[in-house]
Amino acid sequence: MSTSSGGRTRVKTAKGRKVGSTRWLERQLNDPYVKKAKAEGYRSRAAYKLIELNERFGFLKGAKRVVDLGIAPGGWAQVVRRTCPKAHVVGIDLLPVDPIDGVIITQMDFMDDAAPAWLTEALGGPADIVLSDMAANTVGHPQTDHLRTMALVEAGMYFACEILRPGGVYVAKVLAGGADNDLVAELKRNFTAVKHAKPPASRKDSSEWYVIASGFKGRGDAEDAAENDAELT
């Protein structure tokens, strides 16, 4: 490993290391968010995506119960706990996650039939916020990858509509172009405001965006709206 005169760390390609791996390592070493996360005790640079989204939309203020879908490695849950020290946070992920003070974590597939019931019981009451940083494992086929990730976003939305209190918020990672038209329509039936944002911490070459659906209408209002839509068609 060597450093150029401009202060940028450059990584030599080691024997057995692929060029792509070398580029990834070099990018990590030179990423200011990675350095900042390490200095401030966050488990990942992704923490700053939530921090920046909250700075813009203010959805964490006063949160008492929060669900974190796709919690690994735990950066978002750390942000919630630091912002709302008294918040009760429940997280789920396919991957193992080291314990976080004040957070209940399970290693389980969110798409498992048992997951919603476990999360609901662990939370112990209606959620103020459902956060989802979930993304499907990529297969290298853009259309397939997009469909698989959007299926997670949709599943997260339906779960949010079951567990959120009226006025609650659903924040989810989507891909380039944001949520598709059908999903946006469903979100608008259930929430008073639906916005897309790409926080500065999201790398410019990344296809990720976030959808922020706020002002959950409650199950009764959403069902009435759906029935009215059906009558008009």
Q: What is the pLDDT along the chain (233 residues), one digit of tens a residue?
A: 444 445 555 545 555 555 455 554 455 556 789 999 999 999 999 999 999 999 999 999 999 999 999 999 999 999 999 999 999 999 999 999 999 999 999 999 999 999 999 999 999 999 999 999 998 877 777 777 778 888 999 999 999 999 999 999 999 999 776 678 899 999 999 999 999 999 999 988 888 899 999 999 998 754 544 444 544 44
Token readout for 116 is 């919603």
Q: Which of 12, 18, 61, 173 is catalytic?
A: 173
Q: How many CB atoms lie within 10 A of CB 47?
A: 25
Token readout for 81 is 């706990």
173 has catalytic annotation: yes
Give 43-232's CATH code, choosing from 3.30.497.10, 3.40.50.80, 2.30.30.190, 3.40.50.150: 3.40.50.150
- What is the domain partition of the chain in residue ranges? 2-30, 43-232
Token readout for 95 is 């991957």
Contact 12, 19 (CB under 8 A): no
